[in-house]
Structure 1
């Protein structure tokens, strides 16, 4: 397991997500102040895939440099604001979700075992010691 590569891939995904969120913030700001530019940004975001945040930004720089710089600024602000509590939130949430999945799976396994015993009661009878031999 290459933890360094996993961290790099996770960072790339997180940065692309922050780019997406930054575009939404900029769009919402523009929608209140400059609806025509907001409409343009919305159309651009519909045309260009934002799955790869860096490719999206390169394309945005080619068409509207001032909007690209604005998205960069918002993305950086978002990154700074979440970076303090993200590691602990990631650990805690992962542990909670894993615990919940384990609990649900254990409950399912228990239900399967119980329903199996109920549908085949003769198995339990055979496994009980014969009391007549104690005699």
Structure 2
């Protein structure tokens, strides 16, 4: 396990996600101030934001002012969330893991209980002495 590579990949994924969030913010702003440009940006961006840096390179070729605006918003977002993000991710993963384990345990115990019920049902139907108990 290469932890340094995992950290790099995670950072790159987070950068792309923040680019996407910045794009959504800019499109929302433009929809109020310049709807035709918002529509253009929406159409241009469709399916291109998987890699935020590649997306921004493409946008720079078409509309540099929008690329700069998205980069500015992205930088603002990261400044606002960067301080508490590591703890939120850590706590979120711990909570999600606990919930997954709980659900798994519930499924296992339900399976075990249903198997026991089935076995008891089969024993009751095959044991003639149990039929006489109700008389």
Provide the residue aligned with 2:127 in structure 1: none
Provide the residue aligned with 1:95 in structure 2: 94
Provide the residue aligned with 2:68 in structure 1: 69
Work out whether 1:45 is the aligned partner of 2:41. no
Alignment of 1:26-37 (within 5 A): 26-37=26-37
Question: What is the deviation of 1:49?
Answer: 1.1
Question: What is the deviation of 1:45?
Answer: 0.9
Using the alignment, how far apart are the partners of 1:19 and 1:78 within structure 2? 9
Deviations 1:8-46 (A, max 9, x none): 111111100110111111111111111221121112112
Using the alignment, how far apart are the partners of 1:11 and 1:43 within structure 2? 27
Decide which moves more: 99-108 or 34-43.
34-43
Using the alignment, how far apart are the partners of 1:60 and 1:18 within structure 2? 16
Work out whether 1:109 is the aligned partner of 2:90. no
SS of match in other structure, 2:50: coil
Using the alignment, how far apart are the partners of 1:88 and 1:70 within structure 2? 29
Work out whether 1:11 is the aligned partner of 2:29. no
Work out whether 1:21 is the aligned partner of 2:35. no
SS of match in other structure, 1:120: helix
Question: What is the deviation of 1:117?
Answer: 1.3
Please, what TM-score do these two structures have when normalized by structure 1? 0.86
Please, what TM-score do these two structures have when normalized by structure 2? 0.86
Aligned Cα root-mean-square deviation (Å) = 1.1
Provide the residue aligned with 2:55 in structure 1: 56
